[in-house]
Every structure is written in structure tokens, then in C-alpha cells.
Amino acid sequence: MTHYVDHGGSGPAVVLLHSFLQDSEMFAPQIAALGDAFRLITVDERGHGRTPVDGPFTYWDVARDVLAVLDELGIDQVAVVGTSQGGFIGLRLALLAPDRITALAVLGTSAAPEDPQVAEAYRGLGALWATQGPTDQLVDMVTTICTGAMDSSAWKIKLRALPADRVTLLMETLVGRDGVLDRLGEISCPTLVLHGSADAAYPVERATEIVEAVPKAEPLVLVDGGAHFLSLTDPDAVNPPLRAFLTANA
């Protein structure tokens, strides 16, 4: 069963999809800033937060999980906001159910498959996690890549509590994902792409590829000094353009 929270409100529905090894709580800044105007729904993606996982899966599977949540809530159409991994899922949602996705905003994400050398490095990190556990060095490495200089002490507590076999499974889903670059022209909804100039996981080129390929993409919003988990680390720069986009398109 996919765990979600419907934060309520009478405005247009917006689903918020979190990043790798995060959970719905990473969108606290957006819930505080946007909850007055939108019905926000946060989803714990498969294997994250309070949503279980029982074997290998793909981000297409998670996109279908999200559609099942919408069915349960009786929501026909929704805007989607996804950060990093959440962006992978958002792109797939827009391809799977174009009639249901009114708008898409992706932050710090990519439509390409993982670079093979990066994938192998991440698999090595997962193997170390499995054999040595969440050492300070490994946890610091993950949080530095994702959140930069932000104080991630609360997230580190959650990371250390994750079962090692789950981290390995989630890592393989991440690095083994397929690319959707060649299908971006099929995305028919208005799309906003935001990216941090200091993103340590994906270069700005990954964002530019999406903007250039999606027919109704807005101009790229580049956040100076922004880190990879952009919605969490740089909400003051993210929330105003995100609010304007959702107001116009959700």
C-alpha cells in the first residue's frame, strides 16, 4: 500500500514527489508556502518512508503507484512536482497518463539514463553500505552530493536507520533506470524545469535537454548556487516561480 498524505485545500490538486532516500517530509517548505492555494498531496514512493517494497521495481511502476493514489482519492487531473528521483517519476507520469497530468515541474532531474561510470560508482557505494553499514563517510558522501552545504543532520538519522538491503535495492532502481529523452516530445502538458548551478549529481545540460525537447517547456529556471535537492535546499528561490507556474497551469 502506497502511503500518502492529502494536505487538503480547495485549490487545484498538486502531487509532490520526493528524491532518492528521502520521503514526503522533504516538501515541508512547499507545503508551508503553497498550501494556501493548492491541494497538496505528498506520496512516499515505493521503498521510501512508510511505503514498503517487496522486490525489484522501476520508476514506471512507481508512476503507476501514484496513479493508483489519485484513483483512490477520486482525482482525475493533477499537476506534478518532482525533485530528482521525483522528476524521473513525473516525466513517466506525463507519458503514461497525458490526459491526467495538467502541468509538470521537475527540479534537479534528468531524462537520460545514468552515466555508466557514475552508475558503477553508485553501485560500489551501495555495496559498501551493504557490507560496512552506514558509516559516517558513506552517509556524508550521500548527503553532500544531494544537499550540498545544508545541515542534513535529521536526514542522516533516517539514512542510518535504513536496512542495508533496501538501500542496495533502491540504488539499483536509480542507476539501472531507462532513459526517456527520445520520448520527451510526447509530453503535452506545460512543463517547468528548475536546476541548481551547483548540482553535484546532474550537470545543467540534463535540464537543458528537457527544456529543448518538451514542446510546452518554459525557459529554464537556473538557481545560482542551488544544490541537487533543490526544492529542499533552496526553497526561497524555488517557491516563487513554482507558485507562478502552478497558478497559471494547474
Give bridge partners of residue 86 from the DSSP assignment. none
What are the extents of the domains in the chain?
4-113+178-249
> What per-residue confidence (pLDDT) applies to 235?
98
Homologous superfamily of 4-113+178-249: Alpha/Beta hydrolase fold, catalytic domain (3.40.50.1820)
Query: For cell 539501472, what's the residue?
Result: 176
Query: For cell 542510518, what's the residue?
Result: 160
> What per-residue confidence (pLDDT) applies to 106?
98
d(CA 225, CA 51) in angstroms, rounded, equals: 33
Q: For residue 49, which amino acid is it?
A: G
> What per-residue confidence (pLDDT) applies to 68?
98
d(CA 89, CA 105) in angstroms, rounded, equals: 11
> What per-residue confidence (pLDDT) applies to 9?
85
What is the pTM assigned to this prediction?
0.97
Residues of the chain with pLDDT under 50: none
The region, left, alpha or beta by phi > 0 then psi within -120 to 50, assigned to residue 8 is: left
Please say whether the beta carbons of 193 and 207 come within 8 A. yes
Give the cell for residue 170: 533502491
Give the residue from 86, 109, 110, 68 showing the smallest Cα distance to 27.
86
> What per-residue confidence (pLDDT) applies to 195?
98
Does the CA dihedral 173-178-180-181 come out positive or negative?
Answer: positive
